[in-house]
A and B are shown apart, each in its own frame.
Chain A
Amino acid sequence: MSLKNTLTIWFGKLMVKTLHLLGRDAGNAPGLILWELNKDCLKAFKVDCPIIAVTGTNGKTSTTNYLSHIFESTGKKIITNKQGNNLDTGITSLLLNNCDMKGRVKADYLVLEVDESHVPVIFSKMKLETLVLLNFFRDQLDRNGEVETLILKVKKFLETYEGNVVLNADDPNVSRLGLANPKNKNIFYFSVDRYAGATDQPYEVGEGKFCPRCGEELKYDYYQYSHVGRFKCPKCGFGDVKPYITAKNVKLDVPSVEFEGEEYKISHNSIYYVYNLAAVYTAANLYNFDKKILHETFEKFEVNNGRLEKFSVDGSELLVNLAKNPVGANMTLRVMNEHKGAKELLFVLNDNLADGHDVSWIWDINFSVFENVTRVVTSGSRAYDIAIRIKCSGYDPDNIVVKPDLDDAMNEFFKNKGYKYAIANYTAIQPTRAAIKRYKEKVKEGGTNG
């Protein structure tokens, strides 16, 4: 190991040790400092095990957690960034926390969630075995730039990459990346057959309207959600791929799905969750896992952490989901509508740096689908903005209660008992979960719930 690499690792380990001694979490800071000192710091680590990375706009954390769970179930030692921390600096910190003084990372597999824009920078320095690409949607535009810019970044990386690529065949923005390197034979598409909720016309705002190869408008047989569906370019034939894995017989009422002729019970009734599972199944297939592990994982494993997380609170059943862009929010509204009875919605909207300061994306959420929503409570630093948005979709403003403070919002939200759904954006999700737990504690202690 070169002197520079040795010093990089020593200094990094020293930072991690110091932070731990101070009782601090070594989340992002050591990686950030290391990158400042040495732009090639990732090269100082010796990772001999295979690396599997998951990227895309929505579903990274869930998919990574599922894959980690499957790998762990076979007794393998894995290192993973379960809590996010998916930028170059966060991953550097993760490796620092898990390496010895020589920079050796001891594990059977690294399973990493990686931000779309950081894929090239990280894996130009570390050897990637499998890249899972879920989807590309508009997301935090003032922070990330346009979707197209992100796609082109990943495409450039893939042009010289020869490892496994697991791709969503039903998202034109992802499917096109299978063409990035014609020499790469390790392209594995996954697809999901038309489900009962698919529509002939687009239902929500989407991104992939034109053929990335020839510019012609894409023709869709159907849309599963947003711009994800069965599409084809009428001019050049783009989109006509043979999937390696196709999820069939999606039954959201059971809920269940079929892979390679076997029915799998699953734990959530959302089409976008089925897409995540199809990605998980495809990636897992490349590593030949016992199907029993997949059955058990799909039926029982829960990511929680604000991803379709269930809570029982004081006589109410609550489902909480993160939504940091219109597609995520639209998906949660669809899950909500699967429950036909009366229900209430809490929407927590912040406009911090990590959310993107611009909240106008909420106008791309299709609230006109509301069915039997008896009341809406809004919270967060932009509680009024989301309230106005919902009102202008035609919802009675008298049934909207605005409580910017989260604890006030919980008192209001749980006033009535019943079925409840909560949507929170990026920086709002953890505070929302914490406020729910505080409320639960308060009720348990016999406090008032008013």
Chain B
Amino acid sequence: MDKLKILHMYPAMLDLYGDSGNVEILRYRCRMRGIETEVVKHELGDKDTDFSDVDMIYLGGGADFEQQLLADDLLGLRDNIKAAYAKGVYFLMICGGYQLMGQYYKDSNGKKIPGLGLFDYYTVASTNKRERCIGNIVVETQLDDKSYKVIGFENHGGQTTNVKHPFGKVLAGNGNEFASSTEGYTEKNVTATYLHGPLLSKNPKLADHIISYCMTRKTGEKYIPEPINDKLESDCRKQLFERLLK
């Protein structure tokens, strides 16, 4: 049986809003399809993390303090990460993880943290620490050319601009900036977003989209995940759409 290998970057530091739940959800949904998963971790200071054979790289969100601490470590991995990206490894990045892959992040104290520069966008946080985009959010994204509404919770001071391919259109909430029309960043093998919740908990189709991408890339055959019992998820989505999209 094929085994999906997920590289979880800085799980001890980038784990502010239950974001590690995304990994748990991916593993759960793989398990239900008989796909084995293996999670390898890269923590601050690890020297021998193997990037070569992973199927997916995951980064969660963290506070300003943690982002500063790990910025140097992350920059040291630039070549490995760029190579993985070029090979088509899937990148799922939330909040702080999203910001760190851009050009730079200027935090609420005005301190500039260099990003990995994988993408063109950059982020500047308001120096007023109380000015944050906080609340439930719904965005409409495209999964294999079908539109899909994604529900989550945003909580960020950073305002991200110069985003070439947004993850989705904002239907309720703020998005990349205050009252923005767009949210996140996407490419065929990238989902970068501010959405916590965790992201995949209420958006099972997005989770399956990622699993399908990884399995198809791994096996060379189009992978179509079998449906599983997602009644709770669909009832939850119905309830929240009624509440948030009125």
Contact = CB atoms under 8 A, between A and B. Distances in A.
A360 B17 contact: yes
Interface stretch (B119-127, B186-194, B196-204): B196-204
A363 B136 contact: no
Nearest to A215: B69
Interface of B: 12, 15-21, 24-25, 28, 31, 63, 65, 134-136, 153, 155, 196-198, 201-202, 229, 231-233, 235-236, 239-240
A360 B198 contact: yes
11 contacts: A141-B155, A209-B12, A360-B19, A361-B18, A363-B198, A384-B240, A385-B202, A388-B233, A388-B236, A392-B21, A402-B232
A402 B231 CA distance: 11
A162 to B, nearest CB: 30
Given A357-B134, A389-B201, A397 B21 contact: no
A392 B28 contact: yes
B63 to A, nearest CB: 5
Give 5 nearest A-B pairs by CB, closest first. Answer: A363-B18, A363-B21, A384-B236, A360-B18, A392-B28
B12 A360 contact: no
B17 A141 contact: yes
Contacts of B16: 141, 146
A212 to B, nearest CB: 13
B107 to A, nearest CB: 13
A151 interface: no
Nearest to A396: B229
Interface of A: 141-142, 146, 148, 205, 209, 357-364, 384-385, 387-389, 391-394, 397-398, 400, 402, 404
Instruction: State the majority secondary structure of interface residues on A.
Output: helix
Contacts, number: 80
Contacts of B202: 385, 388
B196 A384 contact: no
A385 B236 contact: yes
B65 A148 contact: yes
Given A141-B17, A357-B136, A358-B196, A388 B12 contact: no
Contacts of B25: 392
Contacts of B19: 360, 363
A403 B197 CA distance: 21
A143 to B, nearest CB: 9
A204 B112 CA distance: 33
A400 B229 CA distance: 12
B155 A385 contact: no
A397 B229 CA distance: 8
A362 B202 CA distance: 13
Given A141-B16, A357-B134, A357-B153, A391 B232 contact: yes
Given A384-B236, A397-B232, A400-B232, A363 B153 contact: no
A420 B145 CA distance: 47
Contact of A384 (B20, B21, B197, B239): B239
Contacts of A389: 21, 201
Contact of B232 (A205, A357, A364, A387): A387
Given A357-B153, A385-B202, A392-B28, 18 more contacts: A141-B16, A141-B155, A148-B65, A357-B134, A357-B135, A358-B196, A359-B153, A360-B19, A360-B21, A360-B196, A362-B18, A363-B18, A364-B20, A384-B233, A384-B235, A384-B239, A387-B232, A392-B25
A358 B151 CA distance: 12
Contacts of A364: 18, 20
Contacts of B63: 146, 148
A388 B201 CA distance: 7
Contacts of B65: 146, 148
Contacts of B196: 358, 360
Contacts of B135: 357
Contact of A360 (B134, B197, B231, B232): B197
Contacts of A146: 16, 63, 65
Contact of B235 (A357, A358, A402): A402
A148 B62 CA distance: 13
B12 A397 contact: no
B94 to A, nearest CB: 10
Contacts of A400: 232
Nearest to A397: B229
Contacts of B24: 363, 392-393
A362 B19 CA distance: 11
Contacts of B134: 142, 357-358
Contacts of B153: 142, 357-360
Contacts of B20: 363-364
A387 to B, nearest CB: 5
A118 B136 CA distance: 28
Contacts of B232: 384, 387-388, 391, 397, 400, 402
A397 B197 contact: no
Nearest to B233: A388
A365 to B, nearest CB: 9
A404 B236 CA distance: 11
A183 to B, nearest CB: 29
A289 B236 CA distance: 53
A205 B236 contact: no
